[in-house]
Structure 1
Amino acid sequence: MSLILCIRDGLCLVRLIPSLRSFTYDRDELVDETGPLRLDFYERAAAELTKAGVECAFRERVGENMYVARYCPAPPFEVIVKNVANGSTTRKYPGLFPDGQPLPRPVVKFDYRVDPEDQPIGEDYLRALDLPVDAMRAQALTVNDVLRSWLAPLEIWDFCVIFGLDAAGGLSLISEVSQDCMRIRHPDGSRLDKDLFRDGVSGAEIVAQWKRAFDGI
Protein backbone atom coordinates (compact mmCIF):
# COMPACT_ATOMS: atom_id res chain seq x y z
CA MET A 1 0.00 0.00 0.00
CA SER A 2 1.19 3.54 -0.74
CA LEU A 3 -0.03 7.01 0.17
CA ILE A 4 0.31 10.17 -1.95
CA LEU A 5 1.15 12.97 0.48
CA CYS A 6 1.19 16.00 -1.82
CA ILE A 7 1.19 17.06 -5.48
CA ARG A 8 3.10 20.06 -6.80
CA ASP A 9 4.48 21.09 -10.19
CA GLY A 10 3.51 17.78 -11.74
CA LEU A 11 5.33 15.74 -9.05
CA CYS A 12 4.02 13.92 -6.01
CA LEU A 13 5.52 12.65 -2.77
CA VAL A 14 4.69 9.01 -2.10
CA ARG A 15 5.08 7.13 1.16
CA LEU A 16 5.05 3.33 1.22
CA ILE A 17 2.97 1.85 4.02
CA PRO A 18 4.59 -1.40 5.26
CA SER A 19 1.32 -3.31 5.03
CA LEU A 20 0.77 -6.74 3.53
CA ARG A 21 -2.71 -7.77 2.48
CA SER A 22 -4.29 -10.88 1.03
CA PHE A 23 -7.99 -10.97 0.26
CA THR A 24 -7.88 -14.64 -0.67
CA TYR A 25 -6.35 -15.66 2.66
CA ASP A 26 -8.06 -12.93 4.73
CA ARG A 27 -4.82 -11.50 6.15
CA ASP A 28 -3.87 -7.87 6.68
CA GLU A 29 -0.80 -6.95 8.74
CA LEU A 30 1.97 -4.39 9.15
CA VAL A 31 5.53 -5.71 8.75
CA ASP A 32 7.78 -2.71 9.34
CA GLU A 33 10.90 -3.68 7.38
CA THR A 34 8.99 -4.51 4.22
CA GLY A 35 8.48 -0.82 3.40
CA PRO A 36 12.20 -0.01 2.96
CA LEU A 37 12.78 -3.34 1.23
CA ARG A 38 10.04 -2.61 -1.28
CA LEU A 39 11.56 0.78 -2.03
CA ASP A 40 15.08 -0.71 -2.28
CA PHE A 41 13.76 -3.07 -4.95
CA TYR A 42 11.63 -0.49 -6.72
CA GLU A 43 14.45 2.06 -6.92
CA ARG A 44 16.71 -0.45 -8.67
CA ALA A 45 13.94 -1.83 -10.88
CA ALA A 46 12.95 1.67 -12.01
CA ALA A 47 16.57 2.36 -13.01
CA GLU A 48 16.70 -0.83 -15.10
CA LEU A 49 13.36 -0.14 -16.76
CA THR A 50 14.27 3.47 -17.52
CA LYS A 51 17.50 2.32 -19.17
CA ALA A 52 15.41 0.04 -21.38
CA GLY A 53 13.18 2.92 -22.48
CA VAL A 54 10.20 2.28 -20.19
CA GLU A 55 8.82 5.56 -18.84
CA CYS A 56 8.57 5.24 -15.05
CA ALA A 57 6.93 7.75 -12.73
CA PHE A 58 9.68 7.20 -10.14
CA ARG A 59 12.07 10.16 -9.92
CA GLU A 60 14.12 9.90 -6.74
CA ARG A 61 14.17 8.43 -3.27
CA VAL A 62 13.92 10.94 -0.44
CA GLY A 63 13.68 8.73 2.63
CA GLU A 64 13.49 5.23 3.98
CA ASN A 65 9.89 4.81 2.82
CA MET A 66 9.36 7.85 0.59
CA TYR A 67 10.05 8.82 -3.00
CA VAL A 68 9.20 11.54 -5.50
CA ALA A 69 7.27 10.53 -8.61
CA ARG A 70 5.80 12.16 -11.66
CA TYR A 71 2.08 12.45 -11.04
CA CYS A 72 -0.29 10.70 -13.43
CA PRO A 73 -3.85 9.82 -12.40
CA ALA A 74 -4.25 6.10 -11.77
CA PRO A 75 -6.94 4.31 -13.77
CA PRO A 76 -8.94 1.61 -11.94
CA PHE A 77 -7.20 -1.12 -13.95
CA GLU A 78 -4.02 -3.09 -13.49
CA VAL A 79 -2.10 -5.20 -15.97
CA ILE A 80 -0.93 -8.68 -14.95
CA VAL A 81 1.75 -10.68 -16.73
CA LYS A 82 1.99 -14.39 -15.98
CA ASN A 83 4.91 -16.61 -16.96
CA VAL A 84 3.78 -19.55 -14.83
CA ALA A 85 0.29 -20.88 -14.09
CA ASN A 86 -0.44 -20.11 -10.44
CA GLY A 87 -2.65 -18.07 -8.13
CA SER A 88 -5.79 -16.76 -9.82
CA THR A 89 -5.05 -18.73 -13.01
CA THR A 90 -5.43 -22.11 -11.34
CA ARG A 91 -7.98 -20.90 -8.77
CA LYS A 92 -10.41 -19.28 -11.20
CA TYR A 93 -9.79 -21.52 -14.20
CA PRO A 94 -9.36 -24.98 -12.67
CA GLY A 95 -8.24 -27.71 -15.01
CA LEU A 96 -6.69 -25.49 -17.70
CA PHE A 97 -3.10 -25.74 -16.44
CA PRO A 98 -1.36 -27.66 -13.65
CA ASP A 99 -0.29 -25.38 -10.79
CA GLY A 100 3.30 -24.26 -11.28
CA GLN A 101 3.45 -25.13 -14.98
CA PRO A 102 5.48 -22.66 -17.09
CA LEU A 103 3.27 -21.13 -19.76
CA PRO A 104 4.37 -21.50 -23.41
CA ARG A 105 4.44 -17.69 -23.68
CA PRO A 106 3.66 -14.87 -21.25
CA VAL A 107 -0.03 -14.27 -20.66
CA VAL A 108 -1.26 -10.68 -20.23
CA LYS A 109 -4.56 -9.94 -18.56
CA PHE A 110 -6.35 -6.90 -17.17
CA ASP A 111 -8.09 -6.64 -13.79
CA TYR A 112 -10.61 -4.08 -12.60
CA ARG A 113 -9.37 -2.76 -9.26
CA VAL A 114 -12.36 -2.89 -6.96
CA ASP A 115 -12.97 -3.89 -3.33
CA PRO A 116 -13.10 -6.42 -1.92
CA GLU A 117 -11.35 -8.33 -4.74
CA ASP A 118 -10.05 -7.27 -8.15
CA GLN A 119 -11.98 -8.76 -11.06
CA PRO A 120 -10.80 -9.86 -14.53
CA ILE A 121 -12.21 -7.56 -17.21
CA GLY A 122 -12.56 -8.01 -20.95
CA GLU A 123 -10.27 -5.83 -23.04
CA ASP A 124 -13.17 -4.44 -25.08
CA TYR A 125 -14.46 -2.65 -21.97
CA LEU A 126 -11.12 -0.85 -21.77
CA ARG A 127 -11.27 -0.02 -25.48
CA ALA A 128 -14.75 1.40 -24.94
CA LEU A 129 -13.10 3.82 -22.50
CA ASP A 130 -10.53 4.78 -25.19
CA LEU A 131 -7.65 3.24 -23.24
CA PRO A 132 -4.59 2.17 -25.30
CA VAL A 133 -4.95 -1.53 -24.60
CA ASP A 134 -2.44 -2.72 -27.19
CA ALA A 135 0.19 -0.23 -26.01
CA MET A 136 -0.33 -1.28 -22.37
CA ARG A 137 0.01 -4.93 -23.34
CA ALA A 138 3.21 -4.27 -25.30
CA GLN A 139 4.70 -2.19 -22.49
CA ALA A 140 3.84 -4.83 -19.90
CA LEU A 141 5.65 -7.46 -21.97
CA THR A 142 8.67 -5.17 -22.24
CA VAL A 143 8.66 -4.80 -18.45
CA ASN A 144 8.53 -8.58 -18.22
CA ASP A 145 11.54 -9.00 -20.51
CA VAL A 146 13.59 -6.41 -18.63
CA LEU A 147 12.81 -7.81 -15.18
CA ARG A 148 13.45 -11.42 -16.18
CA SER A 149 16.82 -10.52 -17.68
CA TRP A 150 17.81 -8.30 -14.75
CA LEU A 151 16.82 -10.77 -12.03
CA ALA A 152 18.08 -14.00 -13.62
CA PRO A 153 18.66 -16.64 -12.31
CA LEU A 154 15.69 -15.72 -10.10
CA GLU A 155 12.41 -16.66 -11.78
CA ILE A 156 9.54 -14.21 -12.17
CA TRP A 157 6.31 -16.18 -12.10
CA ASP A 158 4.02 -13.15 -12.41
CA PHE A 159 3.60 -9.48 -11.54
CA CYS A 160 1.08 -6.67 -11.78
CA VAL A 161 1.65 -3.05 -12.81
CA ILE A 162 -0.45 0.07 -13.30
CA PHE A 163 0.05 2.42 -16.25
CA GLY A 164 -1.08 6.01 -16.11
CA LEU A 165 -1.54 8.41 -19.02
CA ASP A 166 0.23 11.76 -19.16
CA ALA A 167 -1.29 14.90 -20.67
CA ALA A 168 -0.05 13.88 -24.12
CA GLY A 169 -1.55 10.40 -23.82
CA GLY A 170 1.79 8.66 -23.26
CA LEU A 171 2.09 5.67 -20.95
CA SER A 172 3.91 5.89 -17.64
CA LEU A 173 4.44 3.03 -15.22
CA ILE A 174 3.06 4.57 -12.03
CA SER A 175 2.94 1.59 -9.67
CA GLU A 176 5.83 0.25 -7.63
CA VAL A 177 7.71 -2.84 -8.75
CA SER A 178 8.56 -4.98 -5.74
CA GLN A 179 8.01 -8.31 -4.02
CA ASP A 180 4.66 -6.97 -2.85
CA CYS A 181 3.25 -7.11 -6.39
CA MET A 182 5.00 -10.10 -7.97
CA ARG A 183 5.91 -13.71 -7.46
CA ILE A 184 9.65 -14.45 -7.51
CA ARG A 185 11.30 -17.83 -7.00
CA HIS A 186 14.89 -18.56 -6.02
CA PRO A 187 16.69 -21.20 -8.13
CA ASP A 188 16.30 -23.55 -5.17
CA GLY A 189 12.51 -23.14 -5.45
CA SER A 190 11.99 -21.02 -2.33
CA ARG A 191 9.60 -18.09 -2.39
CA LEU A 192 10.89 -14.52 -2.21
CA ASP A 193 7.62 -12.63 -2.37
CA LYS A 194 4.21 -12.04 -0.79
CA ASP A 195 3.26 -15.71 -1.13
CA LEU A 196 5.17 -16.15 2.14
CA PHE A 197 2.67 -13.83 3.81
CA ARG A 198 -0.23 -15.65 2.17
CA ASP A 199 1.11 -18.88 3.66
CA GLY A 200 1.19 -17.44 7.19
CA VAL A 201 4.97 -17.09 7.54
CA SER A 202 6.20 -14.76 10.31
CA GLY A 203 7.20 -11.19 9.54
CA ALA A 204 10.84 -11.87 10.44
CA GLU A 205 11.00 -14.78 7.99
CA ILE A 206 9.32 -12.73 5.24
CA VAL A 207 11.97 -10.02 5.66
CA ALA A 208 14.80 -12.57 5.65
CA GLN A 209 13.56 -14.21 2.45
CA TRP A 210 12.81 -10.91 0.70
CA LYS A 211 16.42 -9.86 1.32
CA ARG A 212 17.61 -12.94 -0.60
CA ALA A 213 16.19 -11.38 -3.76
CA PHE A 214 19.05 -8.87 -3.62
CA ASP A 215 21.81 -11.50 -3.47
CA GLY A 216 22.38 -11.63 -7.20
CA ILE A 217 21.53 -8.02 -8.10
Structure 2
Amino acid sequence: MKQSVEADNSPIEDLLSWKRGRPADIEGRSKKLWLLPDGLCLIEIIPSLRSFTYDRDELVEETGPLRLDFYERAAAKLADAGIRTAFSRRISATCYVAEYHPAPPFEVVVKNRAVGSTLVKYPGLFQENQPLPAPVVKFDYRVDPEDQPIGEDYLRALGLPVEELRRQALAVNTTLRDWLHPVELWDFCLIFGFSDDHEPVLISEVSQDCMRLRHSDGSPLDKDLFRRGASQETITSQWRRLFDGLG
Protein backbone atom coordinates (compact mmCIF):
# COMPACT_ATOMS: atom_id res chain seq x y z
CA MET A 1 0.00 0.00 0.00
CA LYS A 2 1.45 3.36 -1.01
CA GLN A 3 1.70 6.02 1.65
CA SER A 4 1.69 9.79 1.15
CA VAL A 5 3.42 10.72 4.40
CA GLU A 6 6.81 10.03 5.91
CA ALA A 7 5.51 8.91 9.27
CA ASP A 8 7.32 10.23 12.32
CA ASN A 9 9.19 12.99 10.45
CA SER A 10 6.05 14.45 8.89
CA PRO A 11 4.58 17.77 10.00
CA ILE A 12 1.61 17.28 12.29
CA GLU A 13 -0.90 18.78 9.85
CA ASP A 14 0.27 16.42 7.11
CA LEU A 15 -0.44 13.43 9.31
CA LEU A 16 -3.85 14.72 10.37
CA SER A 17 -4.92 15.61 6.83
CA TRP A 18 -3.60 12.30 5.51
CA LYS A 19 -5.95 10.25 7.67
CA ARG A 20 -9.05 12.30 6.89
CA GLY A 21 -11.39 10.32 4.70
CA ARG A 22 -9.34 7.14 5.02
CA PRO A 23 -10.84 4.17 6.81
CA ALA A 24 -8.80 2.96 9.74
CA ASP A 25 -6.75 -0.16 9.15
CA ILE A 26 -7.73 -1.44 12.59
CA GLU A 27 -10.64 -0.23 14.71
CA GLY A 28 -11.65 -1.33 18.20
CA ARG A 29 -13.95 0.01 20.87
CA SER A 30 -11.45 2.57 22.18
CA LYS A 31 -9.07 3.31 19.28
CA LYS A 32 -8.66 3.65 15.54
CA LEU A 33 -5.30 2.80 13.97
CA TRP A 34 -3.80 3.72 10.60
CA LEU A 35 -0.62 1.98 9.46
CA LEU A 36 2.29 4.24 8.44
CA PRO A 37 5.69 3.54 6.87
CA ASP A 38 8.77 2.58 8.85
CA GLY A 39 6.91 0.36 11.31
CA LEU A 40 4.82 3.19 12.76
CA CYS A 41 1.12 3.85 13.08
CA LEU A 42 -1.23 6.74 13.76
CA ILE A 43 -3.68 6.15 16.60
CA GLU A 44 -6.82 8.10 17.43
CA ILE A 45 -8.46 7.60 20.82
CA ILE A 46 -12.20 6.94 20.82
CA PRO A 47 -13.60 8.46 24.04
CA SER A 48 -15.63 5.38 24.90
CA LEU A 49 -16.22 3.91 28.33
CA ARG A 50 -17.51 0.36 28.65
CA SER A 51 -18.39 -1.92 31.54
CA PHE A 52 -19.35 -5.50 30.80
CA THR A 53 -20.26 -6.16 34.44
CA TYR A 54 -22.61 -3.17 34.67
CA ASP A 55 -23.85 -3.37 31.05
CA ARG A 56 -22.96 0.26 30.33
CA ASP A 57 -21.38 1.62 27.14
CA GLU A 58 -21.13 5.36 26.38
CA LEU A 59 -19.05 8.02 24.65
CA VAL A 60 -17.69 10.64 27.06
CA GLU A 61 -15.94 13.14 24.80
CA GLU A 62 -13.73 14.87 27.37
CA THR A 63 -12.17 11.59 28.50
CA GLY A 64 -10.28 11.20 25.21
CA PRO A 65 -7.88 14.13 25.71
CA LEU A 66 -7.56 13.30 29.42
CA ARG A 67 -6.49 9.76 28.59
CA LEU A 68 -3.84 10.99 26.20
CA ASP A 69 -2.68 13.68 28.67
CA PHE A 70 -1.99 10.92 31.16
CA TYR A 71 -0.50 8.46 28.66
CA GLU A 72 1.93 11.02 27.24
CA ARG A 73 3.33 11.72 30.70
CA ALA A 74 3.28 8.08 31.79
CA ALA A 75 5.18 7.01 28.66
CA ALA A 76 7.92 9.53 29.46
CA LYS A 77 8.20 8.26 33.04
CA LEU A 78 8.37 4.65 31.86
CA ALA A 79 11.01 5.51 29.25
CA ASP A 80 13.11 7.19 31.96
CA ALA A 81 12.89 3.92 33.91
CA GLY A 82 14.17 1.92 30.92
CA ILE A 83 10.80 0.47 29.93
CA ARG A 84 10.19 0.50 26.19
CA THR A 85 6.77 1.73 25.11
CA ALA A 86 5.35 2.14 21.62
CA PHE A 87 4.49 5.82 22.17
CA SER A 88 6.40 8.18 19.87
CA ARG A 89 4.77 11.63 19.81
CA ARG A 90 1.44 13.36 20.28
CA ILE A 91 -0.02 15.20 17.31
CA SER A 92 -3.44 16.40 18.55
CA ALA A 93 -5.75 16.26 21.56
CA THR A 94 -6.63 12.63 20.83
CA CYS A 95 -4.07 11.42 18.23
CA TYR A 96 -0.52 10.14 18.53
CA VAL A 97 2.14 8.33 16.54
CA ALA A 98 3.44 5.01 17.86
CA GLU A 99 5.52 2.04 16.86
CA TYR A 100 3.32 -0.64 15.33
CA HIS A 101 3.56 -4.13 16.76
CA PRO A 102 0.64 -6.56 16.36
CA ALA A 103 -1.31 -7.07 19.56
CA PRO A 104 -1.38 -10.61 20.95
CA PRO A 105 -4.70 -12.03 22.20
CA PHE A 106 -3.74 -11.74 25.86
CA GLU A 107 -3.03 -9.02 28.40
CA VAL A 108 -0.96 -8.80 31.56
CA VAL A 109 -2.78 -7.68 34.70
CA VAL A 110 -1.12 -6.41 37.89
CA LYS A 111 -3.09 -6.33 41.14
CA ASN A 112 -1.97 -4.42 44.24
CA ARG A 113 -5.36 -4.90 45.93
CA ALA A 114 -8.12 -7.48 45.80
CA VAL A 115 -10.52 -5.74 43.42
CA GLY A 116 -12.43 -6.44 40.24
CA SER A 117 -11.89 -9.86 38.72
CA THR A 118 -10.08 -11.12 41.83
CA LEU A 119 -13.34 -10.92 43.78
CA VAL A 120 -15.53 -12.14 40.90
CA LYS A 121 -13.40 -15.11 39.84
CA TYR A 122 -12.25 -16.17 43.32
CA PRO A 123 -15.05 -15.29 45.77
CA GLY A 124 -14.18 -15.72 49.41
CA LEU A 125 -10.40 -15.78 49.05
CA PHE A 126 -9.87 -12.11 49.90
CA GLN A 127 -11.78 -9.27 51.48
CA GLU A 128 -12.91 -6.54 49.08
CA ASN A 129 -10.17 -3.93 48.47
CA GLN A 130 -7.74 -5.85 50.69
CA PRO A 131 -4.09 -4.82 50.08
CA LEU A 132 -2.10 -7.76 48.74
CA PRO A 133 1.20 -8.55 50.49
CA ALA A 134 2.97 -8.41 47.12
CA PRO A 135 1.78 -7.43 43.64
CA VAL A 136 0.01 -10.26 41.82
CA VAL A 137 0.63 -10.68 38.09
CA LYS A 138 -1.83 -12.66 35.99
CA PHE A 139 -2.50 -13.21 32.29
CA ASP A 140 -5.93 -12.90 30.69
CA TYR A 141 -7.05 -14.15 27.29
CA ARG A 142 -8.75 -11.26 25.51
CA VAL A 143 -12.09 -12.48 24.25
CA ASP A 144 -15.62 -11.03 24.06
CA PRO A 145 -17.76 -10.64 25.98
CA GLU A 146 -15.38 -11.02 28.94
CA ASP A 147 -11.64 -11.72 29.22
CA GLN A 148 -10.73 -15.06 30.77
CA PRO A 149 -7.69 -16.13 32.85
CA ILE A 150 -5.19 -18.19 30.85
CA GLY A 151 -2.68 -20.62 32.31
CA GLU A 152 0.92 -19.49 31.90
CA ASP A 153 1.96 -22.86 30.44
CA TYR A 154 -0.25 -22.17 27.41
CA LEU A 155 1.76 -19.00 26.82
CA ARG A 156 5.03 -20.88 27.25
CA ALA A 157 3.80 -23.44 24.71
CA LEU A 158 3.53 -20.54 22.26
CA GLY A 159 7.15 -19.62 22.93
CA LEU A 160 6.32 -16.43 24.83
CA PRO A 161 8.74 -15.04 27.46
CA VAL A 162 6.41 -15.28 30.43
CA GLU A 163 9.01 -14.42 33.08
CA GLU A 164 10.24 -11.38 31.16
CA LEU A 165 6.67 -10.15 30.72
CA ARG A 166 6.15 -10.59 34.46
CA ARG A 167 9.36 -8.67 35.19
CA GLN A 168 8.37 -5.81 32.90
CA ALA A 169 4.86 -5.62 34.34
CA LEU A 170 6.26 -5.36 37.86
CA ALA A 171 8.71 -2.68 36.72
CA VAL A 172 5.80 -0.70 35.27
CA ASN A 173 3.98 -1.14 38.57
CA THR A 174 6.91 0.21 40.60
CA THR A 175 7.45 3.18 38.27
CA LEU A 176 3.79 4.20 38.21
CA ARG A 177 3.30 3.79 41.96
CA ASP A 178 6.33 5.96 42.71
CA TRP A 179 5.23 8.61 40.22
CA LEU A 180 1.57 8.71 41.28
CA HIS A 181 2.06 8.74 45.06
CA PRO A 182 0.05 9.73 47.12
CA VAL A 183 -2.57 8.58 44.59
CA GLU A 184 -2.86 4.80 45.04
CA LEU A 185 -2.59 2.44 42.08
CA TRP A 186 -4.86 -0.54 42.84
CA ASP A 187 -4.58 -2.47 39.59
CA PHE A 188 -4.03 -2.10 35.84
CA CYS A 189 -3.70 -4.06 32.61
CA LEU A 190 -1.01 -3.97 29.92
CA ILE A 191 -0.61 -5.37 26.42
CA PHE A 192 2.87 -6.18 25.14
CA GLY A 193 3.82 -6.60 21.50
CA PHE A 194 7.21 -7.79 20.33
CA SER A 195 9.96 -6.09 18.32
CA ASP A 196 11.75 -7.70 15.37
CA ASP A 197 14.38 -8.94 17.81
CA HIS A 198 11.64 -10.48 20.00
CA GLU A 199 11.93 -7.94 22.80
CA PRO A 200 8.67 -6.99 24.61
CA VAL A 201 7.29 -3.54 23.81
CA LEU A 202 4.46 -2.04 25.85
CA ILE A 203 1.94 -1.21 23.12
CA SER A 204 -1.19 -0.50 25.14
CA GLU A 205 -2.28 2.89 26.37
CA VAL A 206 -1.48 3.61 30.01
CA SER A 207 -4.34 5.72 31.32
CA GLN A 208 -7.33 6.03 33.64
CA ASP A 209 -9.24 3.76 31.25
CA CYS A 210 -7.14 0.69 32.09
CA MET A 211 -6.41 1.04 35.81
CA ARG A 212 -7.95 1.64 39.21
CA LEU A 213 -6.69 4.74 41.02
CA ARG A 214 -7.65 6.21 44.38
CA HIS A 215 -7.15 9.78 45.55
CA SER A 216 -5.64 10.21 49.01
CA ASP A 217 -9.20 10.99 50.22
CA GLY A 218 -10.32 7.56 48.98
CA SER A 219 -12.34 8.71 45.97
CA PRO A 220 -11.89 6.95 42.61
CA LEU A 221 -10.07 8.70 39.75
CA ASP A 222 -10.70 6.10 37.06
CA LYS A 223 -13.33 4.08 35.19
CA ASP A 224 -14.85 2.83 38.46
CA LEU A 225 -16.80 6.10 38.47
CA PHE A 226 -18.41 5.03 35.20
CA ARG A 227 -19.03 1.51 36.50
CA ARG A 228 -20.85 3.01 39.50
CA GLY A 229 -23.12 5.15 37.33
CA ALA A 230 -21.52 8.58 37.84
CA SER A 231 -22.49 11.38 35.47
CA GLN A 232 -20.20 12.39 32.63
CA GLU A 233 -19.48 15.67 34.40
CA THR A 234 -18.41 13.86 37.58
CA ILE A 235 -16.21 11.46 35.63
CA THR A 236 -14.31 14.19 33.81
CA SER A 237 -13.94 16.43 36.88
CA GLN A 238 -12.54 13.53 38.93
CA TRP A 239 -10.20 12.46 36.15
CA ARG A 240 -8.78 15.99 36.11
CA ARG A 241 -8.04 15.73 39.83
CA LEU A 242 -5.53 13.02 38.97
CA PHE A 243 -3.22 15.69 37.59
CA ASP A 244 -3.20 17.78 40.78
CA GLY A 245 0.39 17.82 41.98
CA LEU A 246 1.47 15.17 39.47
CA GLY A 247 5.03 15.62 38.29
Q: Could you tell me which runs of 5 or more consecutive residues in structure 2 were left unpaired when the two chains were aligned.
A: 1-29
State the alpha-carbon separation in 2 of the partners of residues 107 and 171 from structure 1.
20
2:129 counterpart of 1:103: no
SS at match of 1:214: coil
- Provide the residue aligned with 2:19 in structure 1: none
SS at match of 2:108: strand
State the alpha-carbon separation in 2 of the partners of residues 27 and 48 from structure 1.
32
- Provide the residue aligned with 1:127 in structure 2: 156
- Provide the residue aligned with 1:202 in structure 2: 231
SS at match of 1:156: strand
- The residue correspondences of 1:116-155 to structure 2 (distance < 5 A) are 116-155=145-184
SS at match of 2:98: strand
State the alpha-carbon separation in 2 of the partners of residues 215 and 73 from structure 1.
35
Superposition deviation, residue 6 in structure 1: 2.5
- The residue correspondences of 1:27-46 to structure 2 (distance < 5 A) are 27-46=56-75
Give the partner amino acid of 1:209.
Q
* TM-score normalised by length of structure 1: 0.99
How many residue pairs get matched?
A: 217
- Provide the residue aligned with 1:55 in structure 2: 84
Q: Deviations over 1:135-176 (max 9, x none)?
A: 000000000000000000000000000000011001100000
State the alpha-carbon separation in 2 of the partners of residues 7 and 126 from structure 1.
30
Query: 45, 50, 60: which one pairs with 1:21?
Result: 50
Give the partner amino acid of 2:199.
G
State the alpha-carbon separation in 1 of the partners of residues 211 and 245 from structure 2.
17
SS at match of 1:13: strand
2:179 counterpart of 1:179: no
- Provide the residue aligned with 2:16 in structure 1: none
State the alpha-carbon separation in 2 of the partners of residues 182 and 124 from structure 1.
26
- Provide the residue aligned with 2:94 in structure 1: 65
Query: 164, 168, 191: which one pairs with 2:220?
Result: 191
2:193 counterpart of 1:164: yes
State the alpha-carbon separation in 1 of the partners of residues 159 and 204 from structure 2.
21
SS at match of 2:36: strand
CA RMSD in angstroms, aligned pairs only: 0.6
Q: Deviations over 1:100-151 (max 9, x none)?
A: 1100000000000011110010000000111111000000000000000000
Higher-RCO chain (CA-CA 8 Å, sequence separation at least 6): 1
The answer to whether the 8 Å contact 2:112/2:185 transfers is yes
- Provide the residue aligned with 1:78 in structure 2: 107
Superposition deviation, residue 7 in structure 1: 2.6
State the alpha-carbon separation in 1 of the partners of residues 100 and 35 from structure 2.
10
Q: Could you tell me which runs of 5 or more consecutive residues in structure 1 were left unpaired when the two chains were aligned.
A: none
The answer to whether the 8 Å contact 1:151/1:216 transfers is no
